[in-house]
Structure 1
Amino acid sequence: MTRMISPDISTWPDADVALVGGVCSDSDCGAAVFPIQELCPRCSKDTVEQTTFPRTGTLIAWTTQGFLPGAPYLGDETRDTFTPFGVGLVQLGDVIRIEGRLTENDPEKLEFGAAVEVTTVPLGHDDDGEEVVTFAFQPVGA
C-alpha cells in the first residue's frame, strides 16, 4: 500500500494531483492558506472554505536541502545515503505561494520564473512499512 503523507492536502491518488487548501470566504479578506485550517490566518474568522489550487505555477525562489532533515522526517535515507533535494517557493496562479520539495536538485537546472507543476515523489516508509509519498513541484513537461 501507498499513502499520501497527509490525506487532506491533495487530490492524490488522482493522476493529475493538485493541492487542496482553503480560501477565506469573507468578502473583505479572501486569504488563501495551505494546508487548510479552521480559522483564517488574516482575519481570524471561521470562514475558510476548502478549495483546490491550480496545478501549475511559477518558481519564485529555491535552494537545495543539503543535509538530512531531523525528526519527524519520514525519509528512509541515512547520513550515508542521503541525496540533497531542491526546495522551492512556488506561486500557484494568482492564489497562493507554497513551499515544497522540487524534483530537481541541480542548481544549474533551476531558474527563477520557471514553470512548474504539482506531482508526487516517494518519501519513505511509515512504522507499518507502508510507502509514504509527498507532493513536489517538477518542471512543466518533465
Structure 2
Amino acid sequence: MDNAQGLSPIAAGLWDDGPPPRLIGGRKANGEIVFPLPDEPLEPLERVALATSGTLWSWTSQEFQPKSPFAGPEPFEPFLLGYIELANEVIVESRIVETSIDRLELGMPMQLVIVPFDDHRSTFAFRPEQRA
C-alpha cells in the first residue's frame, strides 16, 4: 500500500524514498541504534537505513484524541499503535495499518509502509507481512 505519493512527509529525515522506503536511524559509537534521529544529537551518529520488516513486540488501540498539541487528522479517528522490533537494530513505535486489533499476535511479522497521515502529509506505518 503506497497511496501516499505526492504527499509531504510528516517530518523530514524519517525515511528515504527507496525503493523500498526505509526508516533512517542513527548508530552511536557503541553500536546502539536510535530512531528517530534527534534534531541535536549529544554525540556523533552514523546515519543508517533500517530494516523494512520486523516483529510485533506490543500494541494498543488509541481510542481517544491525544491532548493538545494534537496535530493529526480531524475529525479524530481511532488507530492501532505498536512497537515493532527490527532485529538487531531498534524497537520502533509506529501506527499499525491494514488489520484489526483482534488479528494481532506477539511476534507477528510486520512490514514497513508509507501511508497518508492527512490530506497533505504522509507517515510511516507497519502492516502484517503479506505472504507470497
Q: Please, what TM-score do these two structures have when normalized by structure 2?
A: 0.84
Distance between the aligned counterparts of 2:106 and 2:98, measured in 1? 13
The residue that corresponds to 1:23 in the other structure is 27
Give the AA of the match of 2:123: T
How does 1:1-142 map onto structure 2 within 5 Å? 1-12=6-17, 14-24=18-28, 26=29, 29-37=30-38, 38-39=40-41, 46-78=43-75, 82-104=76-98, 106-125=100-119, 131-141=120-130
* Structure with more relative contact order (C-alpha pairs < 8 Å, separation 6 or more): 2
**How far does residue 55 in structure 1 lie from its aligned partner after superposition?**
0.3
Alpha-carbon deviation of 1:133? 0.7
1:104 to partner: Cα distance: 4.3
Give per-residue Cα distances to partners, 1:42-88, cap 9 Å, x unaligned. Answer: xx5x231100000000000000000123344332222xxx3311100
Residues paired across the two proteins, number: 125
Stretch deviating more after TM superposition (69-78 or 111-120): 69-78
Q: How far has the Cα of 1:141 moved from its partner?
A: 1.0
| Bigger Cα Rg | 1
Is this contact kept in 2: 1:104–1:110, CA < 8 A?
no
Q: C-alpha separation between the residues in 1 aligned to 2:20 and 2:93?
A: 19
SS in 2 for 1:99: strand
**Residue identity in the other structure for 2:33:** A
TM-score normalised per structure 1: 0.78
Q: Displaced runs of 4+ in structure 1, greater than 4 A?
A: none
Q: Share of identical aligned residues, percent?
A: 31
Structure 2: 5+ residue stretches without partners: 1-5
Aligned to 1:128: none
